[in-house]
Chain A
């Protein structure tokens, strides 16, 4: 009888069929699913560049950025006012999401013409998605007009910074300094600025003796990188310091100078100058606490100036990190808000004209108002109070060519996480100074092997 035959297990073939269909589907769209396939179409490095800005046609430039200050929109508006035929469409993304999505954004067919360059985007260089703006740089004379251009030059594989082709320019620049509470410094009888690290340390000791937190810091998210970067800038030879931050083969951060920098930081912790239990405080909370009147000194960047000035008012001040020994040149750590051009843009000349605009005297006050340092430092308006301190601090750094890159920004893609982890271990007493540096070096060596 026919119905006595065991029923075929109908579900099994169907499942098999689905699996087969899935595999076929994957194989069929293999080429489009294969990651990065599109980037093979490479934009060639530009030939001789024309600095003439097209005036005859309407041009729309799409700008992607993560700049949460007023700088980028104000610069775009000012440029448009000058060149009415060029309009901008700004695509702002929050800082955290920006880096997450920028790889796909820039490899899309609709890639923006101009994008803010942040550390971690080096793969775009290797993927040939960024325009080599070397020809524009020569035509406009950018090397004389923008400080810190080496921070945005890369080798073709994107792994090494500071050599190779130029991929953008900084709009505004940032740098780290030492904030201080004027009222407390006066009460303690301290005269700023210190002439050497030893003098700064003596000030910390005096503040501690008076029952104050000398150096306000937070390391829940790795905020100790600010004093550490500054100390590295102070102690290491600029060439060695840059070679390491820029990922040059064979560079070392384990030498005597780096040990001196890390040991100084450790000593500040051990002597009780720093916020206690620093691993449990976030960097932002540390700024907030300092702005509310906690502690005497705080090492951070000019991006914190607005918050500090708002909190401390006339009592807010800033001086540059002193040299290691009296009479040395000034060195500190800083970076910029860099703008780069897409390799797929159809309006390279207009985009390059915007980059050029960032170095202009017209852009300087716009940049200064947003709390950044303008590439053209001499055109920045004179300001009083803390912002005035920041401005004169920057001019002194620029005069000494003392701006060094953040070590975590360029050395390896995983360095930000590694540095945070290692600084927490150092602060928690889980590693010593030499082991701490060796662990950083090991991350470096793995990537640049």
Chain B
């Protein structure tokens, strides 16, 4: 019994522990911790002030019925009950789920394929140029992206001109104004923005993979498809987890793209939680309800990211 509990505490990194002077060690540890804190402080301070405290305040506000000006009334969890019973919100949740396909699944697939192709062609000319080109959407502010795509999708926009030019004019539509196509249309803008980021992420990942593994596989007769599924995808697991985390957050918290392109319309066909929060808080004067919705959204996103990271850590 005594033996099993007799685990020496893990040796801290740095200079060896002084077994004779426990107190001195503790003091040094404390001082080291203080030093560490000092390093973190410049980041921690603004983070606490501008992210943690406002978030806590939002959680606090979610317990009130408040119009933004007059005295609020404490309503406990009534706002949360409303959040879960609102049919409009259910629609918004579905749309956010659909956006995960466009913001995460599709770009990650595109990124993986393009990274695999690039890996096979590594060292050849033009890779850097292609990489820069595909990463470009990441650099442009989302609002600008949204305005550009509004023109692309317009009735006489680039997309329809293209369709008409190749004789597919009968398929031309007013994409953002269509009840059927508006959600996929804004989703594809997301795909376009995020795919480049995923590709760059995966490219740096493939550079980490030993080329000999590929060579060995090729000697064993593996084709590009086999190589992709058996080497590239499994070995890029950490990068895929990062990409998935970033893109799922982007999908679930999407606001600016949709606000500028469709504003949630036509009808409610592209309404997402972010749009509802904005409408409730700044248009509808229902700050408490908007806060409750924001808290729920934050919780959902946090859980999603936790699950992704847990799954990624498990060995294949």
Contacts and interface: CB of A to CB of B under 8 A. Distances in A.
A4 interface: yes
Given A22-B56, A36-B68, A220-B176, 7 more contacts: A39-B70, A277-B177, A280-B154, A282-B150, A285-B154, A413-B283, A417-B284
B284 A413 contact: yes
A4 B265 CA distance: 66
Interface in B118-162: 150, 153-155
B155 A35 contact: no
Contacts of B153: 280
Given A126-B70, A417-B279, A428 B179 contact: yes
A173 B209 CA distance: 68
Interface string A368-390: 00000000000000000000000
B256 interface: no
Contacts of A4: 2, 5-6
B229 interface: no
Given A123-B70, A127-B69, A276-B155, A430 B177 contact: no
Given A6-B5, A276-B155, A430 B279 contact: no
A421 interface: yes
Nearest to A22: B56
Contacts of A124: 69
B26 to A, nearest CB: 11
User: Which A-B residue pairs are the 3 nearest by beta carbons?
Assistant: A280-B177, A280-B174, A279-B177
Nearest to B259: A96
Nearest to A4: B6
Contacts of A417: 264, 279, 283-284
B265 A123 contact: no
A282 B179 CA distance: 16
Interface string A407-449: 0000001101100110011011010000000000000000000
Interface of B: 2, 5-6, 8-9, 56-57, 60-61, 64, 66-72, 150, 153-155, 173-179, 262-268, 279, 282-285, 287
Contacts of B177: 219-220, 277-281, 424, 428
Interface in A102-144: 103, 106-107, 120, 123-124, 126-127, 129
Contact of B287 (A35, A278, A425): A35
Contacts, number: 121
Contacts of A33: 57, 60
A36 B70 contact: yes
A280 B69 contact: no
A420 B265 CA distance: 8
A191 interface: no
Contacts of B267: 421, 424-425, 428, 430
B263 A420 contact: yes
Interface in A272-307: 276-282, 285
Nearest to A218: B177
B139 to A, nearest CB: 25
Contacts of B150: 282
A421 B268 contact: yes
Nearest to B265: A424
Given A33-B57, A424-B265, A281 B69 contact: no
B265 A279 contact: yes
Contacts of A425: 266-267
Contacts of B264: 417, 421
B67 A123 contact: yes
Contacts of B174: 276-277, 279-281
A35 B61 contact: yes
B266 A279 contact: yes
Contacts of A34: 72
13 contacts: A7-B9, A39-B69, A99-B283, A123-B67, A126-B69, A127-B69, A129-B69, A277-B174, A280-B154, A282-B150, A425-B266, A425-B267, A428-B266
Contacts of A202: none
B279 A414 contact: yes
Contacts of B285: 120, 123, 413
Contacts of A3: 8-9
Given A7-B9, A424-B267, A35 B72 contact: yes
A37 interface: yes
B69 A100 contact: no
A123 B286 CA distance: 11
Most chain B CB atoms below 10 A, which of A37, A107, A276, A414: A414
Nearest to A278: B177
A221 interface: yes
Nearest to B52: A22
A126 B155 contact: no
Nearest to B288: A35
Contacts of B67: 123, 126
A3 B9 CA distance: 9
B70 A127 contact: yes
Nearest to B3: A4
B76 to A, nearest CB: 15
Interface string A36-76: 11011000000000000000000000000000000000000
A165 B178 CA distance: 45
Given A4-B5, A120-B283, A221-B263, A280 B155 contact: yes
Contacts of B279: 414, 417
Interface in A20-35: 22, 26, 33-35
A280 B60 contact: no
A40 B69 contact: no
Contacts of A276: 155, 174
A417 B281 CA distance: 13
A124 B263 CA distance: 26
A232 to B, nearest CB: 21
